[in-house]
Amino acid sequence: MRHTTIRRLALLAALIASTALPAAAQLVREGWDEPLPGTPLSIVFEERVTPQQIASEGVPLFEDYPMPDPVYAADVYRLVFWSSDHDGTPIRVAASMYVPVSLEPIRAPVLAFGSGTTGVGDHCAPSLENPTIVRLGWYRANMLAYAGQGVIAIFPDYTGFNDTSVPQRYFSKFAEGYLMLDSIRAAKAVTSSVQTLLRTRALPATESFTAGYSQGGHAALAAADLLTEYAPEIELAGAIGFGSTNSVEMLFREAGYYPPHIVYTYMQLYGDRVVEPETILQQRWLDTLEFDVLTKCVTEFQRYYPFDVRGLYTERFYDALMNRRLDEEFPVFKRILDENESGLSGHGIPVLMVQGNQDLIVTNAAQREFADRLRATGVDVELLELEGVLHRQTRPAGFVQSVDFIRERMRP
């Protein structure tokens, strides 16, 4: 027994010694004064969850879909760290992190996972979800399931949440992409520390991944677009989208619930003289736009706004949007929509897209069109279409395939 313990500690020490300190942690150690993206500001250990508890919590998420037996327990942390806002200025963000706990030292890939739309106001932050009262996604169960399979999962609140001075930067490619990459930086910095390694024996692997559901798929591929310029030290080995909404213009055509929030956000980012809401939204939605966007979370605004976009837009905008003439009729807004489209930079990172053929938010036709555009940039895309699967079911239905996708891209 004593010799086994010594061998384990020796292997752990070797893994620590062979791993370079993440850039963020190095810069903190060297005494830089400027806020450095990905630098942890606070780290709070919350609890350890056993494999049996992970399996139990996963039941309402997975429903009738297969959940692999958890192999590992998980330590849960709450982090606050620096990131960059849409314009590159420093901003504090928060995330929950789920770290596998192993008896033997393991190399664990880091997965930054973005939530689907929950709302724009602070009270709608995905970390506040109480799924027994209002189901937003059973995200804690989802992240615990990844940790149970040996993946370090970090689940950030989008930029602007937990900050009363700014609303969520909803469908901002830059804010989302920076956040996902800084989540990976923060996760690597924390899990590379000797204290965390001795607790979990899960050393962050060189390979990292991004993933997300709906809006989170947009964020996952935004990270791929911005990787080379913003975080070249990260080895992003793959990106995963579950019912992914990468084309903002497509979302404007497909589902009327979400565009008012995007219009409001872009007004904040670009100015209301550039984004003119009165040319886009019918008057009945304009009078209380700010109040409605900031106070209604997703389960409320899905009952408030029409799903059929004909009831949302001005006649002129509707005609230009549906007939794909925004570049002629609304060239400035079209440029903004294109600027915030994610995934099409030619990043070369493999992509798995999990799509349900009963998805009403992102139709199969729209997802196939986007996948073809992605492939045209030279990206290896696997589009997995699942029979009888709704939008919210893409994560449990495609969970096993997503874990396989990650494992296949890990070096021995």
Dist CA 127 CA 156 (whole Å): 8
SS3 46: strand
> Which two structure tokens, joined as six digits, stand for 241?
């989208």
Average pLDDT over residues 210-226: 98
Render pLDDT for 27-71 as a digit per residue (tens, 0 to 9).
Answer: 333 344 568 999 999 999 999 999 999 999 999 999 989 999 999
Percentage above 70 pLDDT, the chain:
92
> Which two structure tokens, joined as six digits, stand for 31?
């005494």
Range with lowest mean pLDDT among 225-229, 271-275, 335-339, 382-386: 271-275
Dist CA 7 CA 104 (whole Å): 10
CA nearest to 83, candidates 185, 165, 4: 185
Query: What pLDDT is attached to residue 279?
Result: 97
Render pLDDT for 73-99 as a digit per residue (tens, 0 to 9).
Answer: 999 999 999 999 999 999 999 999 999
- Beta pairing class for 73-84 and 40-49: antiparallel
CA nearest to 196, candidates 164, 154, 230, 237: 154
Render pLDDT for 9-30 as a digit per residue (tens, 0 to 9).
Answer: 444 544 444 443 343 333 333 3
User: DSSP class of residue 297?
Assistant: -
* The residue type at 249: E
* DSSP assignment string, 104-154: S-EEEEEEEEE-----SSGGG-GGG--TTTS-S--HHHHHHHHHHTT-EEE
- What would be the CATH architecture of the domain defined by 2-247+341-408? 3-Layer(aba) Sandwich (3.40)
* DSSP assignment string, 334-363: HHHHHHT--S-S-----EEEEEETT-SSS-
Query: What pLDDT is attached to residue 34?
Result: 66
Binned at pLDDT 50, 70 and 90, residue 205 comes out as very high
Which residue matches tokens 């030619």? 346
Which residue matches tokens 């982090």? 79
Query: What pLDDT is attached to residue 162?
Result: 92
Render pLDDT for 354-383 as a digit per residue (tens, 0 to 9).
Answer: 999 999 999 999 999 999 999 999 999 999
Dist CA 346 CA 224 (whole Å): 9
User: How high is the mean pLDDT of the chain?
Assistant: 92
pLDDT surpasses 80 at 8? no
Residue spans in the chain of domains classed CATH 3.40.50.1820: 2-247+341-408
- The gap from C-alpha 328 to its chain's centroid, in whole angstroms, comes to 33
Render pLDDT for 117-160 as a digit per residue (tens, 0 to 9).
Answer: 999 999 999 999 999 898 889 999 999 999 999 999 999 999 99
Count Cβ atoms below 10 Å from residue 60 Cβ, excluding itself.
13
Average pLDDT over residues 203-228: 98
Q: % helix / strand / coil in the chain, to the nearest 5?
A: 45, 20, 35
Q: Report the half-sphere exposure of 28 (CA within 13 A, side-chain side).
A: 19
How buried is 34 (Cβ within 10 angstroms: 0-12 exposed, 13-18 middle, 19+ buried)?
Answer: exposed
Render pLDDT for 279-335 as a digit per residue (tens, 0 to 9).
Answer: 999 999 999 999 999 999 999 999 999 999 999 999 999 999 999 999 999 999 999
SS3 164: coil
